Amino acid sequence: MDGQTIRLDGVTKRYGATVAVDRASLEVRRGEVLALLGPSGCGKTTMLRLMAGFERPDAGTVSVEGAVVAAPRVFVAPERRNIGMVFQDYALFPHLTVAENVGFGLPRSERAARAGELLTRVGLAGLGGRYPHELSGGQQQRVALARALAPEPSIMLLDEPWSNADPLLREELRDEVTSILRPLGVTVVLVTHDREEAFSLADRIALVRDGAIVQVAPPEDLYYAPACRWSAEFVGGCNVISGAVSGGLVHTAVGSFPANGASGADAVEVLIRPELLELAPDPAGAAEVVGREFRGHDVFYRVRLADLELISQRPSNEVVELGARVAIRLHDGRVPIFH
């Protein structure tokens, strides 16, 4: 069966007066890695738990593989949804060995063989006799992944599985998860509040705000064509500059751009990513560098242009001194426009 695997239609979930998920609709495509991205408390985990069946919606429907699994009068239990889940803290049983953890939900006769096979798949062959506390954090994650894969789910839900790891280990863990899950063709829904994580791992990102899904798009589209100013600012640095439309162009203090459909004498806001704003030292330039922050691979400049203060992000081998006069140029035509 092709097409969507998980589908939310107008799903709402309340906890008392808190609306954790607010009429959310979403289709997850077969075999994709979809990230639910948004600030802490916006409802991502609740959406994941609704998909898994650990929560029941107050309104709307949840479908898995074309069948309704949650609706006002329908509820299919988590263990009957064929969905695997890896939690933030891995949730391994401390008193069971690694192999027992992996085989836990399987028929007794299959346990040993299947656990061995799964541990080999996640690179832990030979460690089945250890206990979770005898493994590193990365190895524990692989055990959790193996356990979630044991019933051969077609869908895997990951709830910020790396949130407790330090940055270097995080990267390693991310690579492992994708190198293990991608080849299996498993559909993955991943919860994260880290935009770089979402950008680097996901085929598509569903941006979540206040329990609602505000945009679903591939990472590049989200970055360069955000649906609103909030999305734009959540997924990256930006300069927001006001402009006026005339003759098919938007005129702003930093130049004029194609209006891309904005019409009339509309007042608009133009968004420019800091890395698209180039600085050319020029004694007659209209702008001045008033701040400079070295970040290693690049440098962030604060640039004053009349009453505007702009941010420019340049490679660090391209040095512009503090106090220098500069001309501002735009790297290319990718300038989203908002009313």
Provide the binding-site residues for ligand ADP, judged by CB under 6 A: 15, 18, 20, 38, 40-46
Question: CA-to-CA distance for 87 and 159, rounded, in angstroms?
Answer: 5
CB of 330 to ligand ADP, least distance (A): 35
CB of 41 to ligand ADP, least distance (A): 4
CB of 114 to ligand ADP, least distance (A): 32
Per the CB < 8 A criterion, the answer to whether 328 and 287 are in contact is yes
Residue nearer to ligand ADP on the CB measure, 38 or 103: 38
Question: CA-to-CA distance for 141 and 122, rounded, in angstroms?
Answer: 10
CB of 220 to ligand ADP, least distance (A): 24
CB of 15 to ligand ADP, least distance (A): 3
Question: CA-to-CA distance for 290 and 116, rounded, in angstroms?
Answer: 61
Residue nearer to ligand ADP on the CB measure, 90 or 301: 90
CB of 145 to ligand ADP, least distance (A): 20
What is 67-130 written as a DSSP string? EEEEETTEE--GGGTTEEEE-TTTT--TTS-HHHHHHTTS-GGGHHHHHHHHHHHTT-TT-TTS
Residue nearer to ligand ADP on the CB measure, 49 or 292: 49
CB of 14 to ligand ADP, least distance (A): 9
Residue nearer to ligand ADP on the CB measure, 38 or 132: 38
Question: CA-to-CA distance for 325 and 282, rounded, in angstroms?
Answer: 6
Residue nearer to ligand ADP on the CB measure, 40 or 109: 40
| Token couple for 53 | 């069946």
Count of residues for the chain?
339
Residue nearer to ligand ADP on the CB measure, 15 or 93: 15
User: Which of 257, 269, 273, 260 is CA-nearest to residue 224?
Assistant: 273
CA angle 290, 296, 300 (to 5 degrees): 25
By DSSP bridging, strand 239-246 and strand 249-252 are antiparallel
Residue nearer to ligand ADP on the CB measure, 18 or 242: 18
Residue nearer to ligand ADP on the CB measure, 17 or 306: 17
As beta bridge partners, residue 300 has: 293, 313
CB-based burial label for 107 (10 Å; 0-12, 13-18, 19+):
exposed
CB of 262 to ligand ADP, least distance (A): 33
